[in-house]
Structure 1
Amino acid sequence: MARRRRRNATAAPGGARNNARKGPVSLVAAVGTTAGLAACGAGSTGLEVRSDVDHEVVTVEATAAVPDAVNATTALGATLVAAGDATENRVVSPASVAVALAMLAEGARGQSATVLDGVLGAAGEERTDAYNALQAAVLEYDGDPGSVDGDDLPERPLLHLANAVVVDEDRDVEREYLDRLARGYGAGLRVADLSDASGKRVLDAWVREHTGGRIRSSAIQPDPNLVLVLQNAVLLAARWQDPFAAEVTSDLPFTLVSGQEVPVPTMTQRLLAAYAELRGAQAVRLPYTEGFAMDVVLPPEGAGPSLSAEDWYQLGEALSGPVATDVLLHLPTVDVKTSADLVPPLRDLGLGVLFSYPEADLTGIAPDLFVGAVAHQATLTVDEEGTVAAATTEVGVTAGSAPDPAEPVVMTVDRPFAVRIVHLETGWPMFMGAIADPRG
């Protein structure tokens, strides 16, 4: 793994850092040599290779592009949630997807770089520093994902975020690209045979480790043309600031998109909370013990649970104010798992060039590459005590030839609804979702 050190100032705009090394490196040849990459170990997680480049941690205060990256991540999340079937649950981690795409952007050139920068909200070193700073901000809450117990959540939120790159053992990649991933993302590097089941076991083991076992396997399949896989994982375990009383949870009716009414375990609590109404939708912010909060949005009857980016922006502003409202909340427990191929919605966002050969330009990684897969998996559990959520994003790179009433506001979440888990300091959306059926 790359060593960490904190950097409080950004590089000059558009300027490349002058200690990046040039030229492709054969990973097999580099292991055990003085080429700047050294072997750390092997086993089911693959042969780990350590860059001698430090992970430079950038602060939010030193990075002007952070608000643009946050807004871009919110818009990305809104698009990916809306791309799902309205009758099915859809949970994504916009933060996870954005970081994975940002790692890909480090090796993109020409039009490929331009479209990625547009989706990510920043370009070049500003983009690198913005996503570096956002990760550093949430990793104040880092911890061991293996320690998470859904029945006994930690008093202080645990937010684990990790990045990795797995390179096929027979492929050469640009040394500068690997150094940029180490420096800006702390991405550990492993070597494996991505053409067969042994490489799949390497990908699987990393996913299980960094989601605490809540996601069991990688969504990337072995392929003789697979050159490298970028992996990002996010795990959140957090207690509510004001837990719900389990003894008052009861089955209440919940209306599915089809109109069918089903009984769902529903929590009840009267609390003072940030509350807002927007075009007939009700929204409440439920804080965890510190650092993070969940926004729950109940759309008006007849409307779907997917919100636009503009809706999320406006609700975020409204829910960030100091005024608290007396709310009587009825909220279903949630236990859902979702998986999605993100290639179609990313094409719709204008990233189609990345998935076409020879139009894709990823020559900052290696010649003749295009993106063959972008896979996302997520889980979300919400109960009286708090929340556990996990997500992975994997990019497979392939070669080719509020009111103040005297009585409480009543918010009964009894039909499909939207959720978002945000980092309060930055507003970075860690998870977003449309819950069509909270039973999963």
Structure 2
Amino acid sequence: MIEAAVAGANALTRRWAGTVGSGDSVAVSGAGVWPLLAYLAPAADGAGGDELAAAIGLPAADATEAASALVGLLGSAPGLRAAIGAWVHPRLQLRAQWRDSLPPGSVGVLGDPALLDAWVREQTGGLLDKLPITVDAETLLVLASALVARTRWIQPFDDGMLVATTGPWSGRRLAGLHRTTAERDLLAVYETPAGPVTVLTVEGADGIDVDVAIGVPEAPAAAVISAAIDAPAAVPARRGSQLAEGDTAPGVTVDLGWAYDDSPRLLVSLPRFTVTSSHDLLAHAEVFGLLTVSDLSTQRLSGVSDFPLGVGAAAQDLTASFTADGFEAAVVTAFGMRAGSAPPSGRPLQVRLLLDRPFAFVARHRPSGLVLVAGWVAQGEPAAG
């Protein structure tokens, strides 16, 4: 069942990413929304249930088991933390079957909204500080999920400076991250309908990888994000070790450098970034299967309660940070290394990846393939000073 849940959540992220524009930095997490939709799907009536089942990619009869499997994975895997919370108004009586479908201990009484905000801070370690919807006197039920992914790079980057000479970031001084490795096949080039896309996999120590991807300058953000999401299942046109002197690809040049030996290497430079996003899910209700269940004129969720219910608000807040040490790391540590004083004589083949214009990123749970967060970096972090 976990394979079906992962496939459904990834498909939701891909569809959602298809709505992303190229103008601003943005991040989305279908993995954060998918369990909530799956818990609601068996409880929805008629067309509402059909729409939710289509959104999660599973029959409603399988949705609860799949949601529990995904929440279990997210709550137990190294580097990940997840929780489901439900808060019920004292005058609303839930159906026992639906209440029991939620994780044990996840249902509470809806009262002071500050307590829900405190739950958000507790579950995210302070990365987010409040619920993304407004709880008022008319709110009868809140269903929420929290997801945190943290990892440290197996090979850290060095902090430095990055100054683009062309493109939309030309002349800007950015907080650069730089790394050299012999593992050229961490980089691959894929052919897509929007043109070639270069994808670099940055490996984390906790089974979490972050892929950064750059297309041709005119490629839409949605197309580049989609290519990064699909990369593990696709066959690359060229891997880093297959690139020869003079070859090019988006963000990539290949030449001969100077070093103390002739071992080929991969040189990576990109800006440090933090992306924060707030989304009104009802603005794209069709993506999430929420069109019918957000119509408050009739009973839409009879499996939740005898009392007429509908989804009056649905939102997501997200923050994602890529630093020298890891993904969503709170502390930045820089390593400086220096070679000896003997003059270099080797001429190694150098595959250079320079992300000096907008690019995509995808954070993924390596063992399951679950996409945790996907996004677009329209602006890198400015350099200090």
Match of 2:270 among 331, 336, 341: 331
Q: Which residue of 2 aligns with 1:92?
A: 28
Q: Secondary structure at the match of 1:362?
A: coil
How far did residue 261 of structure 1 move? 4.9
Residues in 2 aligned to 1:255 and 1:73: alpha-carbon distance in whole angstroms = 37
- Deviation string, structure 1 residues 167-209 (Cα, Å, up to 9, x no partner): 1122222121110113xxx46111023xxxx2x1121111111
Q: Which residue of 1 aligns with 2:204?
A: 288
How far did residue 389 of structure 1 move? 7.6
Q: 1:300 to 1:309 in 2, by over 3 A?
A: closer
Q: Which residue of 2 aligns with 1:161?
A: 82
Alignment pair present for 1:432 and 2:374: yes
Residues in 1 aligned to 2:225 and 2:380: alpha-carbon distance in whole angstroms = 23
- Structure 2 counterpart of 1:109, one-letter code: D
- Higher relative strand content: 1
Q: 1:377 to 1:315 in 2, by over 3 A?
A: same
Q: 1:187 to 1:108 in 2, by over 3 A?
A: farther
Alignment of 1:141-220 (within 5 A): 141=77, 157-182=78-103, 186=104, 188-193=106-111, 198=112, 200-220=113-133
Q: 1:82 to 1:358 in 2, by over 3 A?
A: same
Residues in 1 aligned to 2:119 and 2:281: alpha-carbon distance in whole angstroms = 20
Q: Which residue of 1 aligns with 2:218?
A: 302
Alignment pair present for 1:251 and 2:162: yes
Contact 2:211 2:361 (C-alpha < 8 Å) held by counterparts:
yes
Q: Which residue of 1 aligns with 2:176?
A: 266
Residues in 1 aligned to 2:323 and 2:226: alpha-carbon distance in whole angstroms = 29
Q: Secondary structure at the match of 1:354?
A: coil
Alignment of 1:12-411 (within 5 A): 63=1, 66-141=2-77, 157-182=78-103, 186=104, 188-193=106-111, 198=112, 200-246=113-159, 249-253=160-164, 261-271=171-181, 272=183, 273-278=185-190, 279-307=195-223, 311-312=227-228, 314-318=230-234, 325=241, 326-348=265-287, 350-358=289-297, 361-366=300-305, 367-388=307-328, 407-411=349-353
- Structure 2 counterpart of 1:338, one-letter code: S
- Structure 2 counterpart of 1:276, one-letter code: A
Q: Secondary structure at the match of 1:286?
A: strand
Q: Which residue of 1 aligns with 2:355?
A: 413
Q: Secondary structure at the match of 1:73?
A: helix
- Structure 2 counterpart of 1:250, one-letter code: M
Contact 1:285 1:319 (C-alpha < 8 Å) held by counterparts:
no
- Deviation string, structure 1 residues 137-182 (Cα, Å, up to 9, x no partner): 34333xxxxxxxxxxxxxxx52110111011122222121110113
Q: Secondary structure at the match of 2:5?
A: helix
Q: Secondary structure at the match of 1:190?
A: strand
| Structure 2: unaligned runs, 5 residues or longer | 242-264, 331-347
Q: Secondary structure at the match of 1:283?
A: strand
- Deviation string, structure 1 residues 373-420 (Cα, Å, up to 9, x no partner): 111001111111001189xxxxxxxxxxxxxxx723322111111111
TM-score by structure 1 length? 0.69
Q: 1:254 to 1:178 in 2, by over 3 A?
A: farther
Contact 1:78 1:308 (C-alpha < 8 Å) held by counterparts:
no
Q: Secondary structure at the match of 1:221?
A: coil
Residues in 2 aligned to 1:256 and 1:343: alpha-carbon distance in whole angstroms = 35
Q: 1:289 to 1:436 in 2, by over 3 A?
A: same
- Structure whose CA Rg is larger: 2
Work out which structure has the larger RCO, using CA pairs closer than 8 Å and 6 or more positions apart in sequence.
Answer: 2
- Structure 1 counterpart of 2:365, one-letter code: H
Q: RMSD of the alignment, in Å?
A: 2.7
Q: 1:254 to 1:433 in 2, by over 3 A?
A: farther
Q: Secondary structure at the match of 2:88?
A: strand
Residues in 1 aligned to 2:200 and 2:137: alpha-carbon distance in whole angstroms = 49
Q: 1:429 to 1:233 in 2, by over 3 A?
A: same
| Structure 1: unaligned runs, 5 residues or longer | 1-62, 142-156, 391-405
How far did residue 125 of structure 1 move? 4.2
Q: 1:309 to 1:244 in 2, by over 3 A?
A: closer
Residues in 2 aligned to 1:135 and 1:261: alpha-carbon distance in whole angstroms = 45
How far did residue 74 of structure 1 move? 2.1
Q: 1:421 to 1:255 in 2, by over 3 A?
A: farther
- Structure 2 counterpart of 1:388, one-letter code: E
Residues in 2 aligned to 1:383 and 1:313: alpha-carbon distance in whole angstroms = 21
- Deviation string, structure 1 residues 333-363 (Cα, Å, up to 9, x no partner): 0122211111112335553112113356210
Q: Which moved more, 1:326-335 or 1:171-180?
A: 326-335
